[in-house]
């Protein structure tokens, strides 16, 4: 055990390990990168976290940087749950549901709590958090907060940030603060404090006041954005102030969350689902346009293209048997309504089906929970099949999280087909069409030099395309390491500088998740690119095949 580990072991209650196997295990997350941590720590409580961070902070003051990375279940696809230095693994101990107020629907949790388990408990009280990330069963609340996770219901219900009321956060010097929305008077009191917290409030407030126009101009034309920091949501017109939007989505680069109070809503058990067959991209565009003009948003609008359906058909033909009679069309759209009253669900579905009939489009609508589950299974299986192809080329999360405005989605899809054909690669399109958000995962073999070069070529070309469409490089997975070199181009020099200022205000010594969100150099990623990629860690969970 190295000296750092020995020192920490003396001062912490949580366990510390440094053996080679454990370091190797924690050197990867669900991204294409690999970084060996120095020391793995399972914090027992907030005091442990504070001591660890304070230790690293004091080392940094003496000129030695020992970075700290918070980790939930490591399903991060952007390379933000790995790092050199100290890796804090939360699911071991800081994993409790602390308090549930069934009247207000507020629930107080520790960050290492499994998201799916929390959801199960909430459902027994007829409550839920509607965001629904696909990885919920095998990821943590801390990870969802870190990435501001979204999901297939985000089109109606927004993302994780919309359900975070307050956070307990260990700052980069080891101080513990609580973030929540506060009045102007409370803000003034905070700004009067002489400690690090007071300094943060003063600096962030000043930055916002001096750059309000620039901050407004950073608003991207998209419905979901996990890129950069949520500066715009900190200060409202009424002077109220909340640091929570900065911490949520910050991927552990501004502070370490040790407790969260979350909001829930009454569960929506009854849904109506329509599955629509569309023969070309303009039918997709027209249908999305109609859906956008409905008086109430559907709870899900999902798209799968025929290339992915063909892949499913070739590998698991029975999955499609009950869904399509003979063959399927070019695109399939799934539209769900979950409104609490049957009258509203029926009325919205009627409007949609009338539009489909008027345009001679094939569709099937169901209110039968069993049939609806079959539809969802088909949508979710499509992505699982993609991840379980035979062969050495594996679908890689390298350009998997871009988003454009829904109005531009059809043109964006056409450009993607062109981009992939230029690179001589098959493309499978699926995603949250109602948000203009697609998850693309090109299959490449990381053990081959040519494919490794293609990783970077594709990233450069794809992100240029996102920029051209005024989209965001990350809708819900975060910038992490993989998109950090593209953050500058995403926001431009002035706004990028603002983001670095936020990082410096919270983490002046540069110890929190170093290299995440801020890396100028695409070449630096080449040295941490894995030589293989696998999803073995998911074998316990993917139930959809
Ligand atoms: C198959 C698959 C499907 C996915 N589907 C979705 C999806 O539908 N929607 C979506 O948004 N994402 C999705 N993801 C990405 C990922 O699963 C989610 O972002 C998830 O919420 C991460 O949780 P985790 O516990 O694995 O966190 P980790 O991967 O361990 O960490 C994620 C980030 O949060 C930070 N973090 C963790 N704990 C803390 C803490 N206590 N304090 C501060 N920062 C912390 C980490 O440093 C890291 O930056 C998917 C990933 C996979 C592999």
Please tell me the residue having the least CA distance from ligand 1 atom 11.
Answer: 149
pLDDT band, very low/low/confident/very high, at 545 (cuts 50, 70, 90):
low
Cα 90 to Cα 35, 141, 224, 396, 539: the distances in Å are 19, 10, 27, 26, 21
Q: Find the mean pLDDT for residues 100-127.
A: 98
At the second CATH level, the architecture of 3-92 is 2-Layer Sandwich (3.30)
Please tell me the residue having the least CA distance from ligand 1 atom 50.
Answer: 135
Query: In whole angstroms, what is the distance from residue 455 CA to residue 446 CA?
Result: 9
Q: What's the mean pLDDT when you consider all of the chain? A: 96
Residue 544 clears pLDDT 80, i.e. is over it: no
CATH 3.30.70.80, domain 272-387, yes or no: no
Spacing, Cα 511 to ligand 1 middle (Å): 20
Domain ranges of the chain: 3-92, 97-266, 272-387, 394-528
Spacing, Cα 77 to ligand 1 middle (Å): 8
CATH 3.40.50.300, domain 394-528, yes or no: no
User: Which atom of ligand 1 is nearest the CA belonging to 159?
Assistant: 11
* Tokens standing for residue 228: 């950069």
Q: Find the mean pLDDT for residues 190-209.
A: 98
User: Which atom of ligand 1 is nearest the CA belonging to 144?
Assistant: 21
Query: In whole angstroms, what is the distance from residue 66 CA to residue 45 CA?
Result: 21
Residue 213 clears pLDDT 90, i.e. is over it: yes
Spacing, Cα 478 to ligand 1 middle (Å): 9
Range with the lowest mean pLDDT among 91-95, 431-435, 538-542? 538-542
Mutation test residue for ligand 1: of 50, 149, 513, 536, the one with most atoms within 8 Å of CB:
149
Q: Which residues line ligand 1 (CB under 6 A)?
A: 29-30, 69-77, 80-81, 90, 111, 133-135, 139-140, 142-144, 146-147, 149-151, 251-252, 256-257, 476-477, 513
pLDDT of the residue at 108: 98
- DSSP for 398-437, please give it: TB---B--GGGHHHHHHHHHHHHHHTT-----EEEGGGTE
Reduced to 3 states (helix: H, G, I; strand: E, B; else coil), residue 6 is helix
Note the pLDDT tens digit of each residue in 466-479: 999 999 999 999 99
With tokens 């500066």, the residue in question is 231
Please tell me the residue having the least CA distance from ligand 1 atom 4.
Answer: 135
Spacing, Cα 486 to ligand 1 middle (Å): 20
User: Which atom of ligand 1 is nearest the CA belonging to 542?
Assistant: 1
pLDDT band, very low/low/confident/very high, at 325 (cuts 50, 70, 90):
confident
Spacing, Cα 78 to ligand 1 middle (Å): 9
State if pTM tops 0.75: yes
User: Which atom of ligand 1 is nearest the CA belonging to 75?
Assistant: 26
User: Which atom of ligand 1 is nearest the CA belonging to 111?
Assistant: 41
Would you give the distance in Å from CA 306 to the centre of its chain?
A: 26
Residue pair 509/172 in contact (Cβ under 8 Å)? The answer is yes
pLDDT of the residue at 315: 87
pLDDT of the residue at 320: 85
Note the pLDDT tens digit of each residue in 221-232: 999 999 999 999
Q: Find the mean pLDDT for residues 382-405.
A: 90
pLDDT of the residue at 543: 64
Query: In whole angstroms, what is the distance from residue 487 CA to residue 497 CA?
Result: 11
Q: Which class in CATH covers the domain with range 97-266?
A: alpha beta
pLDDT: is 465 or 377 the higher one? 465
Residue pair 86/37 in contact (Cβ under 8 Å)? The answer is yes
Please tell me the residue having the least CA distance from ligand 1 atom 38.
Answer: 142
Spacing, Cα 91 to ligand 1 middle (Å): 12
Q: Find the mean pLDDT for residues 304-320.
A: 89
Q: Check for a shared fold between 272-387 and 394-528.
A: yes
Note the pLDDT tens digit of each residue in 414-466: 999 999 999 999 999 999 999 999 999 999 999 999 999 999 999 999 999 99
């Amino acid at each position: 055990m190295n000296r750092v580990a020995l020192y920490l072991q003396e001062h912490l209650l949580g366990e510390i390990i440094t053996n080679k196997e454990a370091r190797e295990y924690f050197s990867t997350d669900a991204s294409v990168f690999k970084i060996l941590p120095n020391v793995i720590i399972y914090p027992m409580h907030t005091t442990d976290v504070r001591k660890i961070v304070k230790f690293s902070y004091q080392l940094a003051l003496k000129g030695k940087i020992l970075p700290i990375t918070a980790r939930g279940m490591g399903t991060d696809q952007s390379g933000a749950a790995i790092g050199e230095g100290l890796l804090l693994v939360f699911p071991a101990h800081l994993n409790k549901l602390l308090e549930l107020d069934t009247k207000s629907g507020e629930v107080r949790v520790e960050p290492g709590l499994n998201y799916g388990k929390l959801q199960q408990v909430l459902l027994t009280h007829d409550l839920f958090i509607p965001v629904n990330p696909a990885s919920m069963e095998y990821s943590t609340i801390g990870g969802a907060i870190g990435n501001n996770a979204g999901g297939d219901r985000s089109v109606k219900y927004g993302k994780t940030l919309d359900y975070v009321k307050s956070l307990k956060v260990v700052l980069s010097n080891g101080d513990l603060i609580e973030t929540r929305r506060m009045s102007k008077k409370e803000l003034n009191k905070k700004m009067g404090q002489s400690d690090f917290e007071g300094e943060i409030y003063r600096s962030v407030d000043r930055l916002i006041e001096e750059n309000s126009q620039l901050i407004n101009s950073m608003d991207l034309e998209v419905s979901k954005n996990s890129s950069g920091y949520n500066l715009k949501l900190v200060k409202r017109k009424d002077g109220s102030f909340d640091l929570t939007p900065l911490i949520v989505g910050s991927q552990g680069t501004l502070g370490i969350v040790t407790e969260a109070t979350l909001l829930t809503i009454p569960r929506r058990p009854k849904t109506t689902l329509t599955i629509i067959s569309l023969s070309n991209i303009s039918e997709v565009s027209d249908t999305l346009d109609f859906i956008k003009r409905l008086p109430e948003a559907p709870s899900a609008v999902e798209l799968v293209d025929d290339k992915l359906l063909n892949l499913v058909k070739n590998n698991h033909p029975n999955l499609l048997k009950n869904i399509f009679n003979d063959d399927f069309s070019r695109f399939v759209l799934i539209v769900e309504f979950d409104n609490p009253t049957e009258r509203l669900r029926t009325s919205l579905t009627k409007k949609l089906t009338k539009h489909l009939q008027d345009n001679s489009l094939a569709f099937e609508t169901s209110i039968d929970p069993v049939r609806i589950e079959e539809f969802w299974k088909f949508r979710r299986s499509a992505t699982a099949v993609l991840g379980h192809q035979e062969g050495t080329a594996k679908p890689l999360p390298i350009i998997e999280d871009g988003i454009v405005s829904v109005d531009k989605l059809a043109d964006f899809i056409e450009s993607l087909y062109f981009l992939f054909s230029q690179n001589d690669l098959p493309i499978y399109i699926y995603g949250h069409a109602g948000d203009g958000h697609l998850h693309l995962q090109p299959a490449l073999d990381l053990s081959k030099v040519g494919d490794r070069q293609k990783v970077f070529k594709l990233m450069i070309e794809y992100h240029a395309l996102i920029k051209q469409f005024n989209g965001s490089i990350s809708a819900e997975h975060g910038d992490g390491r993989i998109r950090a070199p593209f953050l500058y181009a995403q926001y431009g020099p002035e706004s990028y500088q603002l983001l670095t200022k936020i990082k410096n205000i919270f983490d002046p010594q540069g110890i929190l998740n170093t290299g995440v969100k801020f890396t100028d150099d695409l070449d630096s990623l080449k040295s941490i690119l894995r030589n293989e990629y696998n999803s073995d860690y998911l074998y316990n969970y993917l139930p959809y095949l």
